[in-house]
Structure 1
């Protein structure tokens, strides 16, 4: 006789319900949650049970609790240990240039074997949103972006066509990511990359791959390719008190 599916505890059910509100955008970053007592009444549980749920969500990076101010949905952190998670739109405008985004491809599909390997151990056969487009600085291609979005972690992305909305900007404003991994490499432009960036084939390029997570689950993986002669990366470090 096959085992029956386990019934969720009240703690697990409330935890899932609050995570859904955060991940589907109902509670965006910076949103102030109702008082703990009000949430306990809404879910018909004790204040102690609700406190344990909020404490777990805070520990996992979904929430921040500020004394005398309340509990808020966490905002994406601006900086990782080595590099900043940049908004390319802001980066271009900081140069005094007009910004434009051109979406070239949008598809919902399962990840390929190669993509599954890059995404990591938590990848499965669930569908992802695949995007490809070019960021412009003035009339010049600034960066080719290839991005995968985990629809299980960011379900609201399926309703965005991203032809007018920049994917990275949208994600930074919606998902309170808790961990990021960066990889930087040099490469020569293939025919497809050269065409997208208006470069001679074989031209030197800089490629930055970023993978972000929330509570151990991957949210997005982006591969951004820049013309080598037009871009440089700067990482700043400060000494820590703990060495």
Structure 2
């Protein structure tokens, strides 16, 4: 009995090491569906129970997600954003080792309204630009961006091609900002946001709302919505002197 248990333990570790190695090396990338347990058991010449224990361990380590009937999939890495910085979404995605892409869904130019005045603390009416965009990581929706730009302070935005350049990085390069504010909250996805993120309505999401100002006045208000299960906010700070 002892020899049998030892053999099972060794085989368990072998299977675990091989699957983990394929995931960590990128051979099995995020979203890859692993072979079914019955197929892995046949491949390694072991019981399905042994494979199930391996899969359970991989799931606990956060390397795979198990879905009833659909199978097991390599998890998307969990992104981290700095709370006290104006982080760049493309940089976030590339830090995960995933290809980045961006799609502009809509763009509208209009005059400011009462909501703009409240959200951006506008002193007087001004031309505005509304943008809706989705950022992707490894071909999957990563973040929905809903942005308002004060074209009175940044008139160049009226001619900017936001189908090519995401507005966040463009604004940072274009307008030196003097102050910024982040507000963070947990929300349930609306039908529209869920559709853009390819998630069901009411999926828990993490929202970052940001306002920035320059010496000329309010620059932009943006609402960034992330699926709550793959994003973390991090703050680093030092003791007051």
TM-score band by shorter chain is: 0.5 to 0.7
Q: What does 1:101-180 align with in structure 2 at a 5 Å threshold?
A: 101-120=102-121, 122-180=122-180
Larger strand percent: 2
Which structure 2 residue ranges, 5 or more long, are not aligned? 1-81
Instruction: Quote the residue 1:218 is aligned against.
Output: 218
Q: Secondary structure at the match of 2:233?
A: coil
Q: Secondary structure at the match of 2:135?
A: strand
Q: Secondary structure at the match of 1:102?
A: strand
Report 1 or 2 for greater relative contact order, CA contacts < 8 Å, sequence distance ≥ 6: 1
Shift of 1:111: 2.5
Q: What does 1:25-44 align with in structure 2 at a 5 Å threshold?
A: none
Instruction: Quote the residue 1:70 is aligned against.
Output: none
String of CA shifts for 1:104-141, please: whole Å, max 9, x gaps: 01111012322321111x34321111111000001110
- Residues 99, 137 of structure 2: 8 Å contact kept: yes
Instruction: Quote the residue 2:90 is aligned against.
Output: 89
Structure 1 runs (4+) deviating above 6 angstroms are none
Q: Secondary structure at the match of 1:156?
A: helix
TM-score if structure 2 supplies the norm length?
0.64
Which structure 1 residue ranges, 5 or more long, are not aligned? 1-79
Instruction: Quote the residue 2:192 is aligned against.
Output: 192
Q: How many pairs does the alignment contain?
A: 160
1: CA distance, partners of 2:211 / 2:147: 10
String of CA shifts for 1:53-99, please: whole Å, max 9, x gaps: xxxxxxxxxxxxxxxxxxxxxxxxxxx9x611101011111110000
2: CA distance, partners of 1:216 / 1:126: 13
- Residues 104, 134 of structure 2: 8 Å contact kept: yes
Gap change, CA 1:128 and 1:94, over 3 Å in 2:
same
Q: What does 1:44-55 align with in structure 2 at a 5 Å threshold?
A: none
String of CA shifts for 1:10-33, please: whole Å, max 9, x gaps: xxxxxxxxxxxxxxxxxxxxxxxx
Shift of 1:209: 0.3
2: CA distance, partners of 1:123 / 1:94: 39
Gap change, CA 1:201 and 1:224, over 3 Å in 2:
same
Shift of 1:215: 2.0
String of CA shifts for 1:137-178, please: whole Å, max 9, x gaps: 011100000011111211111111200111001011111101
- Residues 153, 216 of structure 2: 8 Å contact kept: no
Instruction: Quote the residue 1:52 is aligned against.
Output: none
TM-score if structure 1 supplies the norm length?
0.63
